[in-house]
Chains A and B, each alone.
Chain A
C-alpha cells in the first residue's frame, strides 16, 4: 500500500463567490466555478474524461452536473455530509491515480438558501431519520451537538463559561479578519470580541457568531497525473495525502468518549500525516483550512490535528499562533465562518484557498514561504463523525 502521495496534481481550480446568491441557481454556480477552473487549467470542457459531483441536498445523481454539458462521459454523484466536496476530489484523484483516466473533474455545489430556512437543514435538526429509521428520535440542532463539546470542554478544563466564550470569540474575530480580506467570502466584515460575546445565544454556550454562516456556493478542481501536470501549468499543486475516517456512533453510545476531542479527527489526521510523510504538522504545514462550523470545533481541531498539545489550544489561541502572521495560519480565507457552509462545496472551497496560497496567489492573505497545506472537514458531529484530511504541496 503506497498511498496517493505525488501521483496526482491539481492543475486548475475555480470557486464562486459564496453568499446569498438568490439570483443564481445550482446550474449557474456550477458553470461559474467550472469555467474558472477550465480557464485556470487551460483546458476545454471536452478535455474532461470523468467527473464527480458532490452535493448533499442540491441534486440527485450525476445528472446534477448536466448544466456543464459534459456529454457521454462517466459521472458520479458523491455524498458524505460535510466532507462531500473533499470526497468528490478524492474520487477524481483516485481515478487518475488508478490510471483509468488522465484528466478528471471534481465539483462541489450546494444551494442552502433555497431551503427557505436559516441554518443547515439536515438529519440532526429535525429528528434523525435520514438513515432508514422511523424519525421518532430526539430533535437537536447542529449548533447544540457542537455546544456539547463546549459545555464539556469548559467543564473539564475548569473554564468559566464567560471566559470560554471570550476564548472562542478570538477564533471568530481571527476568521472574520481573514474573511474581510477575501472578495469571495460571504461575510467580509471584521468583528470585535465584544460583538461576538454579546451576540444572541443559539445553543448555549454558543452564540450567533460562534456558528458559521449559511450560503450558496460551488467550487471545482481539475486533476491530472502528476507526471503530466507541468503540461498544464508551471505551478501545479501535488496531492500528498487523502484520508477519510468515519465513526460508527461509538461516542454517542459508549460512556468512555469524552466530548473534548473527536476521535475521527485524531485518527484521520494521523493517517494523513503518515501518508504525506509529515512528522510535526505545526512546523511543516504552511497553512490549514479546518472545519470551523462552530468556533469550539476549530479550537478542538487545533488539538486533534496536533497543532496544539492536548488541552493547550487556549495558550496558542492567546499567543496568536493561528493568525495570518502566526506560526501556523488557520482558515486564511475566512473559513466556514465567513464563507458559510454550503456542504457539498466547502471541502473544495478550502482546497481552492490552499491551492492559491501554495501558488503564492492569495493576495493580502498570502502566507510566507508556503510549502504544504491541509484541508479538513468533519461531517456529522461529536459522537459520530466523518473526518476528511487532505494534504497538498507545491513540490513533488
Chain B
C-alpha cells in the first residue's frame, strides 16, 4: 500500500468499542457441567442484544469520539441476524447516517473485520470515500458443555478509516488466503463445529499467520522487533501464546488478547485488542495488526501525534470488568440453549410491516419532533409522528428532533413481574430527557436493586422481539455507565 497521490495520510481516525455489561464466570460453566474451568470470565450479550445492537453501540461510540462523518459503513460479522437482508443498513439507520452512506456486510469469515478494514483503506485511498466506519460484532453460538462455550465471548468494535486527524496511519498490509476448515458452521448448523486442536494449530493457524506476518515484514523491510505492539487474533489464549513462541515475539510486545476478561469475540476480537493497544500507544509507535480466518490480513500501523488527544478518555480498559454477573441458567435462557416454559400471558400481537416502515424515523434513531411554535420536544411511545403539538396544538409545524443521543432522568418506574422478558423482572418507567420530552420505555442492563427515581439514563438500541422471521429493534434506556 502506498500513500494517496496527494500524499494524504490514510488510517484510523477513531476507534470505539462495545462490551455487554454481563459476565459469565467460567467457574460457573464448569460447575454446571462438573468440568474444568479455563479461568476468567466471558462477556455475554444480554437477552435483548445481538450482533446488530452491539455493532450500533460500538459505531456510536466510535463516531462520538471523533473521526468526522462516515460516508461508508461496513459491518463485519459471522453472526448476522439475517441470511438475506443487510445488517449494515440497520446499523447505519440506527447510527443516523445519511441515506447516501455506502453500506456493506462483510461476513462468513472470522477475518471479515480485517477484510473490511482493508476495503475501507482502499476506498479512502482511491478517493471513493472520505471516511468509512468498519464495525465488527459477533455473538457466536456455542453448544452447551463444549470447549467453545468457555472460550467464546460477545462484543463489538468499530474503527473509522479516513484521512483527516489520523491517529494511526495504515502504512501497509499483506494478505494471504487459505481454504482451511478449522471452525465452521454450515447453513444447516445451529452451533459452531471445529476440527481437532493440534491439527488446527499445526496445519492451519500457525503456518498461515506466520506466512502473512513474515510476508508483511519482508515487504516493508521490518523485523518483529520494530513493533511496539503486536496485535493478533487467535481462537484462545493457548493458541495466542503459541504464535508468540513460534514467531519469537517479545512478551512486552504482545498485546494481551483479553480472553480472560471477555473471551474470544470473533470478528471483533482483533479490533478490541487494537483498541486496548491504542489506549496506551505513543506517537511514532509501530503496531502490527493481524486478523485470522480462512487466511490472514496483516497491517502495518504507525501511531501519530493525534493519539494524545484521543487518549483523554479510556476506550476499553474501563469496560473489561463488566458490571453484572449472570448465572449459567440466565445465560442458557438468553442463548436459547434450553427450552423454557411458555408464558401464560397473551402473545404479542403480530407486527405490522407497513406500520413499522411509517414509524422508521422513531424506531431507527428515536426521532420525535420539536414544535417550531412553542419549542417543545416530543415523542410518542408508540412511534407515531406528532401532527398536532401536545403542548400548544399547533398543526404540522415541527422539525425532526433526535432523542437517541439525549441523556435522561428516571422520573418514575416499576419492577414489573408481568413484563414479557427473558431477564425477569422487567424494569420500565417514565423518563425525562435533558432538553425536554418524556418517554415511557423499557429499561435494560439494570441492577434491579439500584433502580431509583432520579437515576441518570442513556438510550440504547435493543432487540425487542422476533416475530415471523423478523427481528424488531427499538430503543431502551439504561443506566449511564
List residues of chain A with CB under 8 Å of any chain B CB: 115-119, 121, 125-141, 143-145, 147-149, 151-152, 155, 200-204, 206, 248-250, 252-255, 257, 259, 383
Contact = CB atoms under 8 A, between A and B. Distances in A.
B239 to A, nearest CB: 42
Contact of B430 (A115, A201, A259): A259
Nearest to B382: A133
Secondary structure dominating the interface of A: loop
A172 to B, nearest CB: 18
A383 B390 CA distance: 12
Given A141-B426, A144-B419, A144-B428, 9 more contacts: A134-B356, A134-B358, A136-B363, A139-B348, A148-B412, A151-B414, A152-B411, A155-B412, A255-B438
B391 interface: yes
B351 A138 contact: no
Nearest to A260: B412
B120 to A, nearest CB: 32
A130 B352 CA distance: 11
B244 to A, nearest CB: 48
Contacts of A131: 382
A202 B419 CA distance: 10
A127 B346 CA distance: 11
Contacts, number: 175
B382 A141 contact: no
Contact of A253 (B351, B426, B438, B441): B438
B383 interface: yes
Interface stretch (B12-20, B199-207, B304-312, B373-381): B373-381
Given A118-B344, A253-B437, A141 B442 contact: no
B417 interface: yes
15 contacts: A125-B345, A127-B465, A136-B363, A136-B472, A139-B348, A139-B419, A147-B415, A148-B430, A151-B414, A151-B453, A203-B416, A204-B415, A204-B425, A252-B440, A254-B391
Given A136-B351, A143-B416, A254-B391, A116 B344 contact: yes
A151 B345 CA distance: 25
B284 to A, nearest CB: 49
Given A128-B382, A137-B381, A139-B420, A383 B440 contact: yes
Contacts of A134: 351-353, 355-356, 358-359, 363, 383
Contact of B384 (A115, A133, A203): A133
Interface residues of B, number: 56
Contacts of B472: 136
B357 to A, nearest CB: 8
A140 B359 contact: no
B7 interface: no
A235 to B, nearest CB: 43
Nearest to B350: A135
B440 A138 contact: yes
B426 A139 contact: yes
Contact of A148 (B344, B345, B413, B439): B413
Contacts of A137: 381-383, 474
B390 A119 contact: no
Nearest to B448: A204
- Most A CB contacts (10 A, CB to CB) among B350, B416, B425, B453 go to B416
B416 to A, nearest CB: 4
B349 interface: yes
